[in-house]
Chains A and B, each alone.
Chain A
Amino acid sequence: MNDSARVLVAHQLHKRFKAQEALRGLSLGVAPGELYGLVGPDGAGKTTALRIMAGVMGPDEGYARIAGKDPLSGDPAVRSMLGYMPQQYSLYGDLSVDENLAFFGKMFCLDKATFSAQRERLLHITRLGRFGDRRADALSGGMYKKLALACSLLPKPRVLLLDEPTNGVDPVSRRELWALLFELVEDGMAVVVSTAYMDEAERCHRVGLLHRGQLLMEGAPTRLMAEHGNAATFEDLFLAAVREAA
């Protein structure tokens, strides 16, 4: 796949926090309609990578591009192409579901018609319709994540970056969330998901194993399994790779 087909590109990203090297030359590319899983142990640099790609943090070296544009630039067009759901709780807890949606709709300057159509659609697919009046901090973990997802989907982004979206979510909601992601990808969205769950990683079109700020391996799960024939499960494969690197 050549770079022009990739709507999201990260090139040689380096990021250091004082003594801690969070990223050490991470490169990846994601095409429209592709679901990319960023897998790695705690502290591997997943959040840092996603933040840089989302343009909420600057890299020390390297760059990220969304449809060829710098996400760090103030260009509203780039922002509107980008949906980002941070790892930590980041909506307004004291605002209701509807108020959060309305607020972020305004941030993306959606006009009334677009907003209400989007709102209807997103409340429907996330099944949050009944909870419009509920405060965000009174939602369950799964519902909260769905609301955060709905907020990041408001501008109909071409690239969606999700940082551990199923962390602290019950199995049923997890399955629902993943079903949703597949729908989005089918519609042509490029999606990057970071996760610590191997079963989730296995369902991605491609995965990258991040360890200490570098990719240890990258490719389609089935292909990676075939290439490293001696691993019984996907999890074993990754654990072996991490052990080898350590």
Chain B
Amino acid sequence: MSGFITRLWALAKKEVLHMARDPQVILLALGMPLLLVVLFGYAVSFDVEDVPLAVVDQDHSPASRDFAARMDESDAFRIRFRLESEAEAEALFRADKVKAALVIPEGYARSLTRGEPTELQLLMDGADGTTARVAVGYASQMGQLETLRRVQDGLTMSMPLEPRVRTWFNPTMDSAVFVVPGLVAIILAVLSVLLAALTVAREWERGSMEQLFATPVDRLAVVLGKVLPYVALGILQFMLVLAAGAWLFDVPLRGRFVTVLLAVILFLTCSIGQGLLISMVTRNQQVATQVGAVSSILPALLLSGFLFPVENMPLILQVISRIVPARYLISVLRAVLLQGRSITDLGGPFLSLVLLAIALITLTTLKFRRRLD
């Protein structure tokens, strides 16, 4: 037993040396999570601010000035130019002086008072796709609000208008908060599976596995000697992502940190077990990378409840999702981070994670034969 511990410790230490000396691992392990959380976080909650706007007011009425002023008051747009014709706007677009132009046609005020449908035109620079989409979202929202306001003011014939603001591409900050837990699961799943798969495949390819087999080391020590350091690395990644999420998107931590940490450790054990299993079967870095990437990204993305709620999936996928560890991690993270739930409320997901971790490590150890053939 003491021999087991001695060897396990030496194996884990050696693995840490490998990591520390491989700039690629550091970059991948610590750079990628940050990059992803920033990219993803902003992609879902891109707050456009001060988009330079040109106003082509052909109506010259109090109502048209009023609407333009409201655009200016919003955080999204800032009026930079007031023009007479669309053609002038186009020149400004080309010169990259404005990103948007609002055209208020002649007769706008008249149509409003008569309750006729009016049309405002918003021209967008489509080159910056994200900004454009988000800005359009804002603008249409404003258009609706304007209509609504006028309905309420009784200026138009009242038609029951649903006071619902649709935010397609611009879920507010709240959804970044909601996305980060899913992002944590995906980042941890992908990186742990890949890094674990790579390290074992590398030992096969570089021949060190053969030298290792010639020593009295047993397979459980080899497996755990890989699991422990990568769990530690995963915890580091998790804290990094969580910190970035808290800092950039105000992701809260309403429950206890140890609860999420425990779930993360169990989840990492599953993912690393999966990665080790893959590389033991493929024994080749390239194949292991491909199989590892697909088998980690797809389930974590599609079957975890990250993009689609599990309840809405076809039954067969719901059943399969039961063996996707990301599903349980995401539900624990959401429950603890956002709702402040405690571990006693989360017995189900925790039990599932424990069972999956045990199953994967057992399978990996059994599959791992201390032989070259």
Contact = CB atoms under 8 A, between A and B. Distances in A.
Interface of A: 51, 54-58, 72, 74, 76, 79-80, 82-84, 86, 88-95, 99, 102-104, 106-109, 148, 151-152
Q: Which of A84, A99, A106 is most buried by chain B, counting CB atoms within 10 A of its CB? A: A106
Interface in B200-253: 206-208, 210-218
Contact of B7 (A56, A89, A102, A106): A106
Nearest to A157: B214
Given A86-B207, A89-B207, A55 B17 contact: no
A28 B9 CA distance: 38
28 contacts: A51-B372, A56-B370, A57-B371, A57-B373, A72-B371, A74-B216, A74-B370, A83-B214, A84-B214, A86-B207, A86-B210, A89-B206, A90-B206, A90-B207, A90-B208, A90-B211, A92-B18, A93-B206, A94-B17, A94-B21, A106-B10, A107-B7, A107-B216, A107-B217, A108-B215, A108-B216, A109-B3, A109-B6
A92 B14 contact: yes
Contacts of A58: 371, 373
A79 B221 CA distance: 16
Nearest to A83: B214
B128 interface: no
B210 A56 contact: yes
Contacts of A74: 216, 218, 370
A82 B17 contact: no
A88 B207 contact: yes
A56 B213 CA distance: 6
A56 B216 contact: no
A89 B6 CA distance: 25
Contacts of B162: none
A54 B372 CA distance: 11
Q: How large is the interface on B (under 10, 10 to 19, 20 to 34, 35 or more residues)?
A: 20 to 34
A51 B217 CA distance: 17
B371 A56 contact: yes
Contacts of A51: 210, 372
A106 B212 CA distance: 11
Contacts of B10: 102-103, 106-107
Nearest to A77: B216
Contact of B215 (A91, A94, A107): A107
Interface in B335-373: 370-373
B10 to A, nearest CB: 3
B22 interface: yes
A148 B370 CA distance: 20
Nearest to B212: A107
A236 to B, nearest CB: 35
B7 A109 contact: yes
A109 B211 CA distance: 15
Contact of B214 (A55, A99, A103): A55
Interface in B20-69: 21-22
B216 A109 contact: yes
A91 B215 CA distance: 13
Given A89-B207, A102-B10, A109-B3, 20 more contacts: A54-B214, A55-B214, A56-B370, A56-B371, A56-B372, A58-B371, A86-B207, A88-B207, A88-B210, A90-B207, A91-B211, A92-B14, A94-B18, A103-B13, A103-B14, A106-B7, A107-B215, A109-B7, A148-B211, A151-B211
Contacts of A151: 211
Contacts of B218: 74
Contact of B216 (A76, A86, A152): A76
Q: Which of A54, A90, A99, A108 is most buried by chain B, counting CB atoms within 10 A of its CB? A: A90
Contacts of B13: 103
Contacts of A104: 211, 215
Contacts of A106: 6-7, 9-10
Contacts of A94: 17-18, 21-22
A35 to B, nearest CB: 20
Contacts of A82: 214
A22 to B, nearest CB: 10
Q: Please provide the 3 A-B residue pairs with the shortest distance between their CB atoms, ordered closest to farther.
A: A106-B10, A76-B216, A107-B215
Contacts of A91: 208, 211
B246 to A, nearest CB: 35
